Every structure is written in structure tokens, then in C-alpha cells.
Amino acid sequence: MKAKIAVLAGDGVGREVVPEAVKVLKAVAERHGHAFDFVSADVGGQAIDKIGVPLPQETLTLAKQSDAVLLGAVGGPKWEGLDYSLRPERALLGLREALGLYANLRPAKLYMALADASTLKKEVIEGIDILVVRELIGGIYFGKPKGIEKIGGVERGVNTEVYTTDEIKRIAKVAFEAARKRRRKVTSVDKANVLESSELWRRVVTELQKGYPDVELNHMYVDNCAMQLVRNPKQFDVLLCNNMFGDILSDEAAMLTGSIGMLPSASIGAQVGLYEPIHGSAPDIAGKGVANPIATIASAAMLLSYSFQLEKEGAAIETAIVRTLDLGYRTKDIHSAGTRLVGTGEMTDAIIRNLG
Ligand code: NAD
Ligand code: IPM
Ligand code: MN
């Protein structure tokens, strides 16, 4: 097939891991006879430095006109002092909103070779396979009123958690449909004991489940869920979360798999899907060539399966990752005694060699 992929590397380690994932996609295209056209554009802090805004119009237009978007990460200490409307992170929120990407899928699966890489005991994490379904364009990230205001000399920062019935329904539907292809269990995460937005969330999800009698549903308060994720993560199949809870719990779930450098994501909803690792620009390791590229390479695999229906090619990347880990290749974040410590590029080269 022929397809156009927008490549938005962004900041920090995004600039290191995205070119590696593109190398893998090129290798897959060559082996399977596809023609992918990669078009790069500026986003985040790097776009602020060059053009003055985090999400240039040209980048947004490119994203809209592409068949899929591959993104690295945005943000970093350099831009932290800027007004919120001008910060690199706005680019990501802007892209998600403009592309209508209401569903963010974050699979946390333990690769057996990494059973020793997690900070948790092997018997706790062995066999975990969790899908975090995170609502991505609503909730406290987008609710109004918002801002910093001064009333009677007192300054206050305001954000608002809002969800409509339709917003809850459409994300819950994604979770139930996904569960049907997995172990048929949805855990809906909320704070319904305190928040009205969660009370509605719980009511709507409960109602929707009636259309999915084959899928088991349970509700869990977010504080308990954070605890259960490290106590007994094997109890979870699909975790249905609002925007904020999904952000937090997916970073926690990432550590069950060994490292945040392992977790990919797919953001879908309307026509164009966006694929990115769940991690950020990792300023502490950026520029050193040590970042783990697997989260981004696995995101590229999701891109092939979800946006292009190239399941065989996506699976080929997955298999190559498994083989490479089985051979003992490890970046610093997942390194343990007796394995082979490699940098970002070497890890990618090994994955490409193992594409078969
Ligand atoms: P982070 O995810 O960038 O880093 C957290 C920790 O994980 C760091 O110690 C980092 O070294 C490590 N890490 C992250 N990715 C790694 C990889 N591929 N390989 C090995 N180790 C890795 O989170 P943070 O430090 O809280 O945020 C840094 C910046 O990134 C902030 O500006 C934040 O807003 C931004 N951010 C962007 C995104 C995104 O673009 N999607 C996501 C999260 C954070
Ligand atoms: C993520 C990030 C983003 C989020 C930030 C950078 C806007 O943490 O993709 O997980 O909170 O969604
Ligand atoms: Mn996050």
C-alpha cells in the first residue's frame, strides 16, 4: 500500500527515538512491498524556538492530511516558564483535539524476558496484559472555566472536570469492544464517592454494559486502583479511565512491564490516528543515545495495525521486539546482570535484524 505518515519528533528523546521507529517502518515497508511517504514537521518546544508557536498551522495541516501521525514527545525545562497557552504540551493537546482523538489505547504487557526488569516481584507481574483505555479530549484537561485569575487581590488557578453522557458513552464503547477481543473484563476507574462527574461516569458505563452481557464490568475508585495495580495487577484486563486518571495509571502500569520506555500508545477516534510512546521528552537522559526506543517502535507497530490494517506487518515488529529481548539486548532502563547493554541505535538495529 501507499501511505503518508506525518513524523513529529518534537523534543528531547523524541528526537532520538522517532528516527529509529521510522527506520523500522522503512525496513518493514521494504520487506512487505509498501510505499510509505514520511513527512517531518515541527512540534513542541522545538517549534516554539523555530517558529514561535508549539503547534504551527503547517504542522496541523500536515497531520490532518496524512494517513497517520507518529509523534515522539514534547516539552522540557527550557520552556517551563512560558505561559500555558504557549507551552510545548499545548501542541499535543491541540493535535489530539483537532484530530478528534478521544480514545487513547495504552497496552501494558510484560515481555517474559523482562520479568526481572521490573521493580516488582516476578510472581506479581508474570503474565500481565492490561489495556488502559484513556479518554483523551475531555475531562479536567479541557473543561471550562479554566485559567489563573485574580479576584479581590487573591490569585487562583482553576480547572474544571466535565464529562457529558455522550463523551462517556463513546469511550466506554471502545473499552467494551476491546474487552470482547481480550479477556472480556472491564474495570471502570472513577472517584464516584466524591465527584459528580464520576457519578455520571459510573451510571453511564453501567447502563452501556447492558449491551455487552458477555463482558464483565466492575467499578473501582482510582485510589484503590492505584494500589491494586501494584498489589495484584493480574486482576485487570481493560482499565477504562478518564483523561487524568488514565494519564497517571498508565505511567504506573508501565513500571509493571519494566520501564516507561516500553509502553506504546494509539490515539484514535476520527480519521487520522496518532501514535506515540507514553513517556515524555526525558530531559535527564536526552542527547545521550541511551533512551529506550521500544515504546516508539511498538507505537509504529500499532500504527500499521490500527491505521493501515497491516496486522501482519504490525505483528512482525512485535515478534522482532520479543526476539531481540530474548537475545538479551537491553537499554539502560531495562538492563540487568547477564544481559547486553546497548544504546538507542543498537537496540533498533537488532530489532530490524530480527524482523525476519
Ligand atoms: P518523562 O516520561 O519524560 O520521564 C520520566 C522518567 O522516565 C525520566 O527519568 C526519564 O529518563 C525516563 N524515561 C522516559 N522515557 C524513557 C525512555 N524512552 N527510555 C528510558 N528512560 C525513559 O516524564 P517527565 O520527566 O515528567 O517529563 C519531561 C517532559 O516531558 C515534560 O516537559 C513533560 O511535560 C513532557 N511530557 C511529554 C509527553 C508527551 O509528549 N507525550 C509525555 C509525558 C511528559
Ligand atoms: C501523556 C503526557 C501528556 C498528557 C502531556 C504532555 C500533555 O503526559 O501523553 O501522557 O498529560 O496527556
Ligand atoms: Mn503522561
**What is the predicted pLDDT for the residue at 215?**
98
Can you give the residue ranges of every domain in the chain? 1-105+261-356, 119-256
Whether 37 is catalytic = no
Counting from 1 in the atom list of ligand 1, the atom nearest the Cα of 282 is 3
Q: How many Å lie between the centroid of ligand 2 and the Cα of residue 63? A: 18
The protein residue with its alpha carbon nearest to ligand 2, atom 7, reads 89
Average of per-residue pLDDT values in the chain = 97
Whether 190 is catalytic = no
Q: What percent of the chain has pLDDT over 90?
A: 98
Confidence grade of residue 145 (pLDDT, cut at 50, 70, 90): very high
Compute CA 123 distance to the chain's CA centroid, rounded to the nearest angstrom. Answer: 26
Q: Which member of 141, 163, 212, 306 is catalytic?
A: 141
Counting from 1 in the atom list of ligand 2, the atom nearest the Cα of 74 is 6
CATH architecture for residues 119-256: 3-Layer(aba) Sandwich (3.40)
pTM listed for this prediction = 0.98
The best mutation among 71, 79, 93 to test binding of ligand 2, ranked by most ligand atoms within 8 Å of the C-beta, falls on 93
**What is the predicted pLDDT for the residue at 140?**
98
**What is the predicted pLDDT for the residue at 302?**
98
Q: Which CATH superfamily is domain 1-105+261-356 in?
A: Isopropylmalate Dehydrogenase (3.40.718.10)
Buried b (16+ CB within 10 A) or exposed e, 253-288: bbbbbbbbbbbbbbbbbeebbbbbbbbbbbeebbee
Give tens-digit pLDDT for 87-117. Answer: 999 999 999 999 999 999 999 999 999 999 8
Give tens-digit pLDDT for 298-341. Answer: 999 999 999 999 999 999 999 999 999 999 999 999 999 999 99
The protein residue with its alpha carbon nearest to ligand 2, atom 8, reads 247
For residue 107, give the nearest of 295, 322, 352, 355 by alpha carbon.
295
**What is the predicted pLDDT for the residue at 231?**
97
Who lines ligand 2 at CB under 6 A? 75, 89, 92-93, 247, 278, 280
Give tens-digit pLDDT for 158-167. Answer: 999 999 999 9
**What is the predicted pLDDT for the residue at 356?**
83
Whether 214 is catalytic = no
Q: Is the pLDDT of residue 185 over 90?
A: yes
Q: How many Å lie between the centroid of ligand 1 and the Cα of residue 286? A: 10
Ligand 1 touching residue 279 (CB < 6 A): yes
Check if 1-105+261-356 and 119-256 are the same fold. Answer: yes
The protein residue with its alpha carbon nearest to ligand 2, atom 4, reads 247
**What is the predicted pLDDT for the residue at 292?**
98
**What is the predicted pLDDT for the residue at 35?**
97
The protein residue with its alpha carbon nearest to ligand 1, atom 6, reads 282
Q: How many C-beta atoms surround the C-beta of residue 26 within 10 A?
A: 14
Q: What percent of the chain has pLDDT over 70?
A: 100
Q: How many C-beta atoms surround the C-beta of residue 218 within 10 A?
A: 10
Counting from 1 in the atom list of ligand 2, the atom nearest the Cα of 88 is 6
Contacts of 170 (CB under 8 A, 6+ apart): 102, 103
Average of per-residue pLDDT across 201-228: 98
